[in-house]
A and B are shown apart, each in its own frame.
Chain A
Amino acid sequence: MKLKNGDPFDIQGKDGEQITFVMTEGTVEETTTNLDGDVQILKQNEPRKFTLQKGKKRKMAVIYVFKASSGESYESHVTGEPGGDQSVDKFDQVPGMADNQVIYRFEA
C-alpha cells in the first residue's frame, strides 16, 4: 500500500491487497471502527482485516473515546500485505477532549 501525498488517512492499495488496521498502544482500550457501514468494536492489538478491490473505494471511520478528561492517548497502524508504506496515527488527547474521529480512505 502507499500513502497518497504522505497522508496516513488516504491510502492507495493494489487489487486484492489485504489491509490490516490495529490500535497498538495508549490508554484507549476499545475503539469503534465502521467500514462502509459494518461496525466492529476492537480492543487494543485486535486487528481488523479486509481486502481491497480494484475500482471500489472504501472508507473506514474510527472513533476513539477518551474516558478521562486528559492524559489519554492512542496509536494505530494500518498496513498492507505484502508491504509498502505504513500508516501511523499517534494521538495525545487535548485536555477536555471527549473523542477523536478519523476516516481512512482506501482505493485500489
Chain B
Amino acid sequence: MIKRARIIVVLSILLSNVASLRAQAPDGSKEQLDAKITAAARRVVTRVPAPFSRGGNAGLFALAIALRKQAAVFVATAEDVRVDKQVGGSNSNSGSTSLVSKGSIPSILGYAVENGGLARDINGTTITFRGNPVGILKALSKSGFIEGYQDADAGTRFLRRLSFALSFDTSRGQPAGGSLFTGSSQQLSSWSLRYDILNHRDPRDKQYNQAWHQLVSKDVATLSQSLLDLDNALDNDSTFNTWYAAAKAKVEAASAGGVSEKDATTLIRAELEKLASLSLSPEVDSMAEAYAKSYKAFLLSRGNILEIVAKGPIITFEYTNIRKVDQVDQSNFNLIAEGAFIKGRVDLTANASFTILNKIPSGSNLDRIQDLDLSGQVDIPLGEVQKIGSIVLSFSGLYKHMMQDTMMASGMMADTKGDMGVGQVKLTIPVKGSGVRIPISFTFANRTDLIKEKFVRGNIGITFDLDSIFARFKP
C-alpha cells in the first residue's frame, strides 16, 4: 500500500577529468580532424621549428584532403553513454539518488548536490565532493589535465587507485527547514576512502596489449601505406603545392608573431577550407579515397578495442564513516563489483556491505554490527535516439538486514530491527552533446531506516556532466 509519494528534484553538477576513458565513434574522422588542427595550432603557438611542416602535419593534410568534400561537424563521444561513474554520495546520506554505488569515480573531482533520501526517513540536501588526490594535485600543477593522467611510476599508479569523498548535510546547523552549505565540520555527514582492487577499464592495461598490437600491425600498417601513397600523389600536384607554399608562409609568419592558440586554430582552419575548395588531381582524389577508407577502418578497430575496455571488470572497496546527529557514528565497509554482460549490452553492479557502530553506547546492550546490505543494479543502454542521445534504463534493488534496534540521542530505543527492501526503476535521458542528463525514477520500499511504513517516491532531476563538454574542447 502506498503511504507517501514525493517528488524529489535533483541537481548534480559534475566536474571530472578529461582523462577518463572515452571511446571514439567509429566514424569519428571529423572529430579527429579537429584534434589534428588543434595539435597543429599548438605547434604554431609553441614556435617549434617549421610548425606547418609537410612531414610533421602529414596526418592533418591527409585527413583534411580525405574529408574535404564533407561538412565538418562534432561527433558525439561514448562519454555520453557511460553508466559506470559514481559522483554523488551513498544511500546512507539524507540526500542521495544512488541506491547502488558504482565502480568508477571521476579521475580528478566530482561535485554533486542531491536532495532527498532513498533509504532514510530524513530527507535533506547533501553536497558530495568526490575525487582522486593524485588527479587533483596534478591538475592543479602546471602540467594540467593532459599530463595529469600520466602515471609515471608504480607509486603514483598505486595512489591513483585511492580516492576520497566528503558529504555535507546542508540542513545541519541551520534553523528548522533551512538549508545552507557552510562546509563546517558540523555539516560533514560522512567521509569515505575508496580503493580500486581491480580496474580493467584502463585502455593501457596489460591485458589489452595483444589487441593493440594487432591494431598497429594490421590496420595501422595499411594506413601507413595509404598515407605514403597520398603524400606521393600530393608531391606531383602543383595545385596542392601552390596552396601549401602560401599557407605555410602565413602560418609561419603568425607563429613568429606570437599568435594565440585560438587565432592559430582559426588561421589553419581557414587555410584548410581553401584547400577543400581546390580541384586536385584525379590521382590525389583516388589516393585520398583509399586513405579515408583505411583511416575509418583504423578508427573502427580502435573503437572496438575501447568498447571492450569500457566493459572491463571493476572491484572496489570503500570505507565510509557516517557521522550521525542523533545516533552513534557508524562505519560502513562496502565491496563494489561491476562488469558487463550479455555481449557488453548490460552493465551489472553489485554491492555487499556491513555497518558497525563506532562505539557501543554506554548503558546499552547493543552489538557493534548494525546492519548487513546487499544491493544490485542493472544498467541497460536503450540505444541512440536522434537529437537526444543514448537513454539508459536502470533497475536496482537493496536488501538491508537491520540487526538490532537503534538507540537515539535521548537514550530511547527505536524499533528498527528487521528487514528493509528498496527497489528503483530509473530512466536517464541525456540531451545530446550538452552534458545534461535528466534522470527520472521511481523508488519503492517496505520501510525506511527508522519508520516501518511502505513508501513510493518519484524522482526527477537534472545533471550536468562537464566531461562531455571537455571532450570537445581542450582543457
Contacts and interface: CB of A to CB of B under 8 A. Distances in A.
B149 interface: yes
Contacts of B32: 96-99
Contacts of A6: 49-50
Interface in A56-79: 59, 61-63, 65, 67-71, 73
Interface residues of B, number: 59
A18 interface: no
A41 B22 CA distance: 25
A12 interface: no
B58 A95 contact: no
B62 interface: yes
A45 interface: no
Contacts, number: 173
Given A61-B224, A98-B302, A69 B19 contact: yes
Contacts of B20: 69
Interface residues of A, number: 45
A59 B224 CA distance: 11
Contact of B22 (A5, A32, A91, A96): A96
Interface in B194-217: 202-204, 208-209, 212-213, 215-217
A89 B474 contact: no
Contacts of B257: none
Contact of B77 (A5, A33, A94, A96): A96
A14 interface: no
A94 B55 contact: no
B58 A8 contact: no
Contact of B55 (A7, A95, A99): A7
B150 A59 contact: no
> Which of B20, B49, B299 is packed against the most chain A CB atoms within 10 Å?
B49
A27 to B, nearest CB: 6
B388 interface: no
A73 to B, nearest CB: 7
A104 B471 contact: no
A69 B472 CA distance: 12
A70 B475 CA distance: 11
Contact of A34 (B19, B225, B471, B474): B225
Contact of B21 (A63, A68, A89, A91): A68
Given A7-B55, A70-B18, A73-B150, A94 B228 contact: no
Interface of B: 18-22, 24, 28, 31-32, 34-36, 38-39, 42, 49-50, 53-59, 62, 77, 145-150, 202-204, 208-209, 212-213, 215-217, 220-221, 223-225, 227-228, 231-232, 298-299, 302, 470-472, 474-475
Given A9-B54, A70-B145, A101-B62, 14 more contacts: A9-B50, A34-B225, A62-B224, A63-B220, A63-B227, A67-B203, A71-B147, A92-B146, A94-B38, A96-B34, A98-B32, A99-B59, A102-B59, A104-B55
16 contacts: A10-B53, A27-B204, A30-B212, A65-B302, A67-B204, A68-B19, A68-B204, A69-B18, A69-B20, A94-B36, A95-B18, A95-B35, A97-B35, A98-B24, A100-B59, A103-B54
Interface of A: 3, 5-10, 27, 29-34, 36-37, 39, 41, 59, 61-63, 65, 67-71, 73, 89, 91-105
